[in-house]
Structure 1
Amino acid sequence: MTLVAILFGTICAGVGSVWLAAALSFGALGRYTQHMLSLAAGALLATAFMHLLPEAFESQAGAQELFGTLLVGLVFFFLLDKAELWHHGHEHHHGGHVHEIQHGHSHASHSGHAHAHPHSAPPMGSWAVLTGDSVHCFGDGVLIASAFMADLRLGVIASLAVLAHEIPHHMGDLMVLRRSSANKRAALVKVSLAGAVTAIGGFTGYWLVDQLHDYLPYFLVVASSSFIYVALADLIPQLQTRLSARQTAAQIAWLLAGIALVTVVSGLAHGH
């Protein structure tokens, strides 16, 4: 009975949050792509710095080990991005051209040009975000399983808390994937699969909750490193375009809105 409740809670939290995020991202807010990139950067940074890292550092794990894990994670996601770019260039047999596009794309010196060739531009950050998302979702699943095993009502609250705080973060993920592919459905399927890893975390947590509990802080830090990397290496460079004062103010406002959204939702989730 507890296992059924864990699986139901983790699927609702993991996949449900993705579908709700998609309804918001592709529906009412879909036309504001540039604003959504700012919101995504803010949401990913806030998820890492205001939610995951504080939770990891509240554990018994040593600060030096956790910072070391963060550093290794950032280097790993940098290498993953490099491998992705190399693979993309190799696949299209014009690595130099890809580098040229990526260079222009990263600095986004011509904001129109950044979106002019959606199929030529390499899908930067997509693997980093999906890997980090999967690790994060696995950790969420273990947390939900721990809560259900302590008390059924606590498990329901934990599932709802995860569902709520994952929505703004998944909106960020969907924006990163939408940039690498014009296909909304493909982006939704990929993030949904990452979300489904929550159920795997729940199932594993049910059997190994005591052993896995010691590793939770490290899961949280690895997930954080992917969100920090994607926000700083991929999203924010695209926002470094020369804009009018009004457009710059809007960009900063959306970035702060992303931070505020995650901070408020995380605060509410922890308040229960």
Structure 2
Amino acid sequence: MTLLLWILLFCLLGGVLSVAAVGTFLLFSESLRTRLLPHLVSFATGALLGAAFLALLPHALEGPGIDDFHELMMAVLLGLLAFFILEKMVLWRHCHTDHCEAHAPHSGHGEGKAASLILIGDGLHNFVDGVLIAAAFMTDFHLGVVTSVAIAAHEIPQEVGDFAILLHSGFSRRKAFFFNLLSSFTTILGGLLAWFSLQNLEFALPYVLAVAASSFIYIAVADLIPGLHQRVDKKDTVYQVVLIVLGVVVIHFAHATVH
């Protein structure tokens, strides 16, 4: 199988199949979803941080033509700032609970606006995910697999939150699933664009990986962890720590195994 086909396959895994998994998840009772979702978020936090610090950044630092690590770290810093600005524009914010105050509609017009912003933000986010998956595969096949695993781990709780917002905005389950599925195809579009645009830009790949790492770090620290802090019970805290560590361990062994 050619590298392009692997990229498209894992873009499909990170996008379309995640939406399908969420569709199945929504068949569970609300009480079961409420219990399971925080655990998925905890695992996703560990997976994202593990992928950023154990896979993406080390490969970026080892990239061709990287003599000054300060430039690469500047790319990480600028990436964090860029994602902060995107979140301020309500294009990057993704909820990871069934009830999200960040996009909670307050009127009929607000509901339509919230749904539109979610779909736009989801499409943009999925597009960037596709670029990151392609860049990772073009750097190292094993890195592409690990990056895809981290993205898939994050996509499921993210899509559950998006579904909840669309349903709260008046969408039927079928309509919400269709539009989420539609937006997920931008992952494949991002992968294709990256494949054709980065083939002759090998020097740029380490910087793309640095931005990918900043994306993962920002999502974990600014979006996921604050939600985990809302649960202060000792038992919940133990579960969170265990699952975050599990997410890191899965990425570590996935990276070690595929090598």
Contact persistence 1:44–1:172 (CA under 8 A) = yes
- How far apart, in 1, do the equivalents of 2:100 and 2:11 lie? 34
Deviation of the 1:163 alpha carbon: 4.2
Deviation of the 1:191 alpha carbon: 3.8
Contact persistence 1:36–1:175 (CA under 8 A) = yes
Aligned to 2:75: 69
Give secondary structure in 1 for the equivalent of 2:186: helix
Note the 1:200-219 alignment, pairs <5 A. 200-205=193-198, 209-210=199-200, 212-219=201-208
Normalising by structure 2, we get a TM-score of: 0.71
1:233 equivalenced with 2:222 (yes/no): yes
1:190 equivalenced with 2:183 (yes/no): yes
- Amino acid across the alignment from 1:139: A
CA RMSD of aligned residues (A): 3.6
Q: 1:204 to 1:7 in 2, by over 3 A?
A: same
More divergent stretch after superposition (164-173 vs 215-224): 164-173
Aligned to 2:6: 9
- How far apart, in 2, do the equivalents of 1:116 and 1:8 lie? 37
Deviations 1:10-66 (A, max 9, x none): 212321344555566655797311111111111111111111111001123221101
Give secondary structure in 2 for the equivalent of 1:241: coil
- Amino acid across the alignment from 1:115: H
- How far apart, in 1, do the equivalents of 2:210 and 2:13 lie? 24
- How far apart, in 2, do the equivalents of 1:49 and 1:78 lie? 20
- Amino acid across the alignment from 2:71: E
- Amino acid across the alignment from 1:172: H
Gaps of 5+ in 1: 89-101, 145-157
More divergent stretch after superposition (60-69 vs 4-13): 4-13
- How far apart, in 1, do the equivalents of 2:124 and 2:245 lie? 23
Note the 1:1-272 alignment, pairs <5 A. 5-21=2-18, 27=24, 31=33, 32-59=36-63, 60-61=65-66, 62-84=68-90, 115=99, 120=104, 129-130=125-126, 132-140=128-136, 142-143=138-139, 158=141, 162-163=144-145, 165-182=147-164, 183-205=176-198, 209-210=199-200, 212-269=201-258, 271=259
Aligned residues: 227
Contact persistence 1:80–1:127 (CA under 8 A) = no
Deviations 1:88-107 (A, max 9, x none): 9xxxxxxxxxxxxx9xx99x
Aligned to 1:152: none
Deviation of the 1:221 alpha carbon: 0.6
More divergent stretch after superposition (225-234 vs 132-141): 132-141
More divergent stretch after superposition (232-241 vs 188-197): 188-197
- How far apart, in 2, do the equivalents of 1:225 and 1:36 lie? 21
Q: 1:140 to 1:198 in 2, by over 3 A?
A: farther
Deviation of the 1:136 alpha carbon: 0.8
Identity among equivalent positions (%) equals: 26
Contact persistence 2:75–2:211 (CA under 8 A) = yes
Q: 1:129 to 1:241 in 2, by over 3 A?
A: same
More divergent stretch after superposition (223-232 vs 190-199): 190-199
Gaps of 5+ in 2: 106-113, 165-175
